[in-house]
Amino acid sequence: MKNFEEMGFTPGILKAISALGFEQPMPVQENVIPLMLGDECDIIALAQTGTGKTAAFGLPLVQATDTDTNETQALILCPTRELCMQITSDLADYSRFTGKLKILAVYGGASIDNQISALRKGVHIIVATPGRLIDLIGRRAAKLSSVTTVILDEADEMLNMGFLDSINEILEEVPAGRRTLLFSATMSNEIAAIARKYMTDPVEITIGTKNATAENVTHQYYLVHSKDKYKALKRLADSEPNIYGIIFCRTRRETQEVASMLIEDGYNADALHGDLSQAQRDTVMQKFRVRNLQLLVATDVAARGLDVDDLTHVINYSLPDDLEIYTHRSGRTGRAGKKGISVTLITPRERSIIRQLEKKVKKSFKSLPIPTGSEICSRQLLHWVKKLETVVTEHQEIEKFLPEIEEKLFQLDREELLKRVISLQFDRFLDDYRHGDDIYSPEGGREESWEKGKRGPKGSPDAKYKRLFINLGKTDGFYPEQLIELVNKNTKGRKVPIGQIDLMKTFSFFEVEEQYSDEVIVALNNAKFNDRRVAVEIAQERPEKDELGNRSEKRKAKWSDRRPDRKSDRKKIDYQGKRSGGFKKDKKAHKKNKW
């Protein structure tokens, strides 16, 4: 492996490299820099974001630029304002000891008049987003006739954002003999088409596996029902005390909703999406970069250009519409040789997508159980104890308060003092998980029981269950978690085993162990749900079926004897449950508590 000193950099560049703390070149730098400093060939470099691509093209580009000529010699195209600003800042760092190199960032959302003024004074390197550069070319402010090097950074991202026509238009403006470098995480058909049209015998460099995620990323998934996604997200965040990550959502609305819930629940989180103004976006991203935020909830478009090296997790709250985008999401963690984790929340309907993703990234995904409340409290407690062990106690001003503190706490023994300190520190976690039910995967857990009519994990498998009717349903906002909460709240001191739950529109059925049925009926009939009086009673028996699966004649007769309770619809029902008209009204009027 060559080091930077052996690559042929000038003393000024080497001084900048040393000041930036670069020690050994990363693989993409080791492959690209010698080609840029030596040959004039075109280059296609396939590497994930965060692998050192900016230094790979930026260091030799700064050295090759003639600062004595007041003309634009290099053009760098990138997809977002944020990446544009980041590249410009990096180039400024590389050139701090090499003379008066003039670099201009050109992007939308900033004053176009200021950019026109700077271009007229002359710049050596333009770093631009395609849309604003097209505008400046149209105004004849950006002159590209002297450009000798064009660099397309994050080319796949630019194509995903719909910049293909703009890229073609820009490349038609630069001289035919220029050198072209294309950097991309993936090699799509569109990227290959650009290479064929605008590049001459390019040298292709692949760092890692083509179209695969970073090697240091571990891929995991949790199988949950849609209604439990946010609860699972909270448990994931709580089970990782040092989590620092991006949560990806599909839509702006979902992004804002998830971020708002996290903030309300006390997490250091915020949202990043297209409805924010540029000033708001800059504020949020700066807070995230300096770790004032622990969790950033973002859409794919909004997160493009956000360059953070130390992410521990990328969480896919919702899968992207295009699975290719998963590669970009997961590539945001595991950078610079560090390990990262990409977690996906998968619903039962999306289970087959995991196999597709495994083929795409050429890695297996590990299925994990959702952390239990006990596990979360244990991890948080041990993390706190570890911090307690390493805390510095050299502050002398604290010592003068110790006698008064000892006097106040003298009556507490060691065990009681520890309990109170821990309770104070972990109040939120204890409230959330002390009495809360754990979330089970749809594979064999409680949620599968709710969906498929099987009994849940509570209670003995040999226990007899009694089926109860309750006058609350989905239109009341009544779901399994609300039912369990209602039962637990009104039967304090008991853990009533609950079996099958069948939710209807305006009412529901649920099973409890037979020995608890009378107690549950009495307790819930005195309760209220959202200011509505609750009514619970024993459900009527299910009708028996004959060998062909038809309801028994006894059941049909019982059904035919019923009369509508609506004056507007009094037509009788025959033994086959049929009638000439108004059947839907009769059925609706009598369906409550039938079975």
Helix (H) or strand (E) holding 435: none
Q: Specify the residue for token string 């004074």.
A: 121
pLDDT of residue 118: 94
Residue 575 domain-assigned (yes or no): no
Question: Which pLDDT tens digit goes with each residue over 189-247?
Answer: 888 888 898 999 999 998 765 544 567 889 999 999 888 899 999 999 999 989 999 99
Question: Which pLDDT tens digit goes with each residue over 565-588?
Answer: 433 333 333 333 333 343 343 444
- Please identify, among 492, 516, 538, the residue that sits at the C-terminal boundary of a domain: 538
- Inter-residue contact 155 to 194 (CB < 8 Å): yes
429 and 464 together in one domain: no
Which of the two residues, 124 and 459, has the higher pLDDT score? Answer: 124
149 and 76 together in one domain: yes
d(CA 368, CA 75): 46
Residue 510 domain-assigned (yes or no): yes
pLDDT of residue 260: 93
Question: Structural domain tally of the chain?
Answer: 4
Residue 249 domain-assigned (yes or no): yes
| CATH code of 29's domain | 3.40.50.300
Question: Which pLDDT tens digit goes with each residue over 375-430?
Answer: 887 888 888 888 777 777 666 677 788 888 888 888 888 888 887 877 776 666 66
- Please identify, among 373, 398, 418, the residue that sits at the C-terminal boundary of a domain: 373
- Strands 528-529 and 532-533: what pairing? antiparallel
Rounded to 10°, the helix 11-19/81-94 angle is 120
Q: Considering Cα of 16, then 19, then 25, then 29, what sign does the dihedral take?
A: negative
429 and 504 together in one domain: no
Residue 235 domain-assigned (yes or no): yes
225 and 338 together in one domain: yes
∠ CA(175), CA(179), CA(185), 5° rounding? 120
Mean pLDDT of 473-481: 84
Residue 453 domain-assigned (yes or no): yes
| CATH code of 468's domain | 3.30.70.330
Mean pLDDT of 33-39: 88
The most confident of the ranges 142-146, 330-334, 372-376, 462-466 is 142-146
Domain that residue 246 falls in: 217-373
Three-state secondary structure call for residue 493: coil
Q: What is the pTM of this model?
A: 0.57
65 and 152 together in one domain: yes
d(CA 555, CA 573): 13
310 and 428 together in one domain: no
Residue 380 domain-assigned (yes or no): yes
353 and 387 together in one domain: no
d(CA 262, CA 233): 9
199 and 224 together in one domain: no
306 and 396 together in one domain: no
In 3D, which of 175, 155, 173, 176 has the Cα closest to residue 164? 155
Distance of alpha carbon 386 from its chain centroid, rounded?
A: 28
d(CA 45, CA 154): 10
- Inter-residue contact 41 to 196 (CB < 8 Å): no
Backbone angles phi, psi at 330, to 5 degrees: -65, -25
What is the chain's length?
595
pLDDT over 90, % of the chain:
35
363 and 265 together in one domain: yes
Helices (H) and strands (E) in the chain, counts: 25, 20
Question: Which pLDDT tens digit goes with each residue over 425-446?
Answer: 666 666 666 655 667 667 543 3
pLDDT of residue 457: 40
d(CA 224, CA 432): 19
What is the separation, in whole angstroms, between the first and last Cα of the chain? 75
98 and 134 together in one domain: yes
- Inter-residue contact 330 to 219 (CB < 8 Å): yes
266 and 379 together in one domain: no
- Please identify, among 489, 509, 538, the residue that sits at the C-terminal boundary of a domain: 538
- Inter-residue contact 59 to 22 (CB < 8 Å): no
Question: Which pLDDT tens digit goes with each residue over 59-101?
Answer: 999 999 999 899 999 999 998 888 898 899 999 999 999 878 9
**What would the two tokens of residue 429 be?**
């976690």
Mean pLDDT of the chain: 81
Mean pLDDT of 151-164: 86
pLDDT of residue 493: 66
Residue 173 domain-assigned (yes or no): yes
Residue 264 domain-assigned (yes or no): yes
Question: Which pLDDT tens digit goes with each residue over 4-32?
Answer: 988 989 999 999 999 988 888 888 899 99
Mean pLDDT of 120-124: 94
Residues 6+ away with beta carbon under 8 Å from 33: 7, 25, 56, 59, 60
